[in-house]
Structure 1
């Protein structure tokens, strides 16, 4: 784009001045979760995204604008924050926090958050730069990006997928996505399911959507700052594990009913460790329902409602019998990849959304339809009764899937090369 083209009113209000050099610009990433901790898969994915970019973008040209979490926030993890600070510091990255933790819900607040974030990053934006908006809170940043800035939006879900009934929120997301595309921006699809959703539900042109399947980084996923916490005492003789955000779309109620069905059929089911976390300081409606259901069904389970990122380490515990992902809706589903990378399993998952891409029945795990406790019970029984050789075969297939299709460093380099290849060039014009 021509750096001398007129700026929009919003851009003038921000004091935008397009950069002069179209080659070797900054990569600016706006992120609401993943810098200081995580209470969802989005936070883990954002963390991996940032670490991948730190190894790809030339030294000193990565800029991260995170939403600052106060240290007493339930989602703040001091060890996590220190790890991220060290990784980004080594890459010569600039970290420019903004105070926007109260602006993560509702279109009006999110619009203000987008404005604040771009304003904070203005000195590093303009011709030759790439602006990345990670996830839903930053879908409107295309309206504020200075002329000449390449834009990439990475929605990890949408209001429609999460079951929101707010027309205002859906329309805000629609305007943000369409606005970015109108100015030449690209939208990342984290799965085939998300590509279809973005094109069909939001009317995005196919050429504007770039495939960026979610993934892992070798050696990073389980190199955390501390070991996994002790297992609940009842789980030490053997357990199955399910974890995720405490919301209805995760299907944890279906899992509890499936476990009850197996118990009624006299199937020996190991202790269930169910981590249904949230960033709130009190139980939310979903957690309250799960607590009641565990008791009313008489399921042998431990319900943990405060999410600790270190529980991912339980995927490597030798007492683990199966990993279950019972989602009713899932844009991608990161947990199966983590299980494959850890050698855990078998993995049991529904075919909801992106899960159908990774958990292939009889190939990498066992699957069932979403919203179907009876099918889920059958799939879980198959996993629990799988012979050792079968478990090893599934584990090897899962590891191959991650290596071949979900190496996040390779994926992100490919996407950045498509959207703004000049940002990967070094001072002498060569690639990083």
Structure 2
């Protein structure tokens, strides 16, 4: 498949049973689902990227061929976050659905400021109007914060519905960015007034959207985040840092203050002062940039000043998830101060990693239940977090196995992402899955 960052369409092809290449028909009148995303197509820099590609994966296996339009923010090969292996797998997934892929220019920098997000929303709307003009039914889905302004650019006569899926908000992730927060408020309000729906990825996010962003209850649809249950089966192992092989704690996520990594380092310092013997810490507080951020330098300084036995990993790799299956893993720590959902506990549950230690922040309370699927502590409270870490390090092998079993059961019962997405499609866009008479024949 050829990527055209200027916005030209890329019709993907399939072969008929006779070997003849079948091209998508021009001016098709099939129903369409269009998806705009900024992370998860050309690479993955956070849990959002995993969730976004899982969303595409389910659509490609659920919709009839030719009904999916994807508008990813184009990431050039020169960008540190461009992952050739990830791209190859993404293209294999979308080819299965004979999807049309129309990259929109802007790059990762476009998502960092309001002006860039405005430009992305405008370009996505232009693509949607062009590609969906002749469809009998269509819906545009904007995945995450950069597309919360799509409603600001939607016309009253645009021939498609709109679903906005905020995986977080700036009120949670960067509360100091008041300009962006005002833009999100305005985008959501305008979108809803024009008939858009807003997806809640957790009970916590539903309350947050209704109470903080004033999204009317009738406009919010439940679309709980989750995992594809087969997603971890073939993940290759990444080599463990040498000092972790005798046993380690794992903490990973975006290198931003709301992830609470400094609270974890403070907790480990307290335990060291108390004389607790601690395993090696693997701290993957990551970004997609070439240079370390100020926050990453702060974490490095804390590791050094507190003399913590740790490996610090500043660059993201999807393969870090393979360490969740390591027999040397003693516990997974999620010390977030704010969390719209919390994907890492589910990754741990799927991989059989136990116990999970998490703060009682936002969506984490829906997956990590104290003494049942893990251990919990108050957010922003290093002393309470130290208590939970100590508790986790002293459980018996039998208790660990019980937590594994209960965690897996919770994952399968509540967070099967494929079942969730298909349920949404059946309820809100049944026309997208229905075959025409010609397709049935």
TM exceeds 0.5? yes
* Residue of structure 2 equivalent to 1:114: 121
Matched, 1:362 2:368: no
Matched, 1:182 2:188: no
Deviates more, 1:157-166 or 1:147-156: 157-166
* Residue of structure 2 equivalent to 1:338: 347
Q: Distance in 2 between matches of 1:278 and 1:194?
A: 24
CA contact (8 A) 1:222 1:313 kept: no
* Residue of structure 2 equivalent to 1:240: 249
CA contact (8 A) 1:39 1:279 kept: yes
Q: CA offset at residue 118 of structure 1?
A: 2.1
Runs of 4+ in 1 over 4 A off after TM superposition: none
* Residue of structure 1 equivalent to 2:391: 382
Q: TM-score, normalization: structure 2?
A: 0.90
* Residue of structure 2 equivalent to 1:13: none
CA contact (8 A) 2:283 2:311 kept: yes
* Residue of structure 1 equivalent to 2:184: 173
* Residue of structure 1 equivalent to 2:13: none
1:260 to 249, 259, 269: 269
Q: CA offset at residue 147 of structure 1?
A: 2.5
Once the two structures are superposed, the pairs formed by residues 391-410 of structure 1 within 5 Å of their partners are 391-410=400-419
Q: Distance in 1 between matches of 2:184 and 2:214?
A: 12
Matched, 1:67 2:73: yes
* Residue of structure 2 equivalent to 1:53: 59
Once the two structures are superposed, the pairs formed by residues 84-233 of structure 1 within 5 Å of their partners are 84-101=90-107, 102-126=109-133, 127-145=136-154, 147-224=158-235, 227-233=236-242
2:41 to 35, 39, 47: 35
Deviates more, 1:240-249 or 1:177-186: 177-186
Q: CA offset at residue 229 of structure 1?
A: 2.2
| Count of aligned residue pairs for this structure pair | 409
Give unpaired runs (5+ residues) of structure 1.
Answer: 1-18
* Residue of structure 2 equivalent to 1:292: 301
Q: Distance in 2 between matches of 1:92 and 1:123?
A: 18
What CA deviation, in whole Å up to 9, does each residue of 1:210-253 have, x standing for no partner? 111110012124534xx232111100111110000001111111
Aligned residue for 1:176, secondary structure, equals helix
* Residue of structure 2 equivalent to 1:44: 50
Q: Distance in 2 between matches of 1:221 and 1:205?
A: 37
Q: CA offset at residue 142 of structure 1?
A: 2.4
Deviates more, 1:408-417 or 1:116-125: 116-125
What CA deviation, in whole Å up to 9, does each residue of 1:96-118 have, x standing for no partner? 11211131122222111111122
Q: CA offset at residue 202 of structure 1?
A: 1.2
Q: Distance in 2 between matches of 1:91 and 1:100?
A: 26
Higher RCO (C-alpha 8 Å, min separation 6): 1
CA contact (8 A) 1:152 1:419 kept: no
Q: CA offset at residue 180 of structure 1?
A: 1.5
Change (3 A) 1:425 1:288: same
Q: Distance in 2 between matches of 1:266 and 1:405?
A: 40
CA contact (8 A) 2:226 2:416 kept: yes
Matched, 1:275 2:281: no
What CA deviation, in whole Å up to 9, does each residue of 1:26-51 have, x standing for no partner? 10000000001111111111111111
CA contact (8 A) 1:125 1:131 kept: no
Q: Distance in 2 between matches of 1:325 and 1:120?
A: 39
Q: Distance in 2 between matches of 1:349 and 1:134?
A: 26
Aligned residue for 1:231, secondary structure, equals coil
What CA deviation, in whole Å up to 9, does each residue of 1:308-328 have, x standing for no partner? 111111111111110000001
Aligned residue for 2:190, secondary structure, equals helix
Q: CA offset at residue 399 of structure 1?
A: 0.5
CA contact (8 A) 1:341 1:399 kept: yes
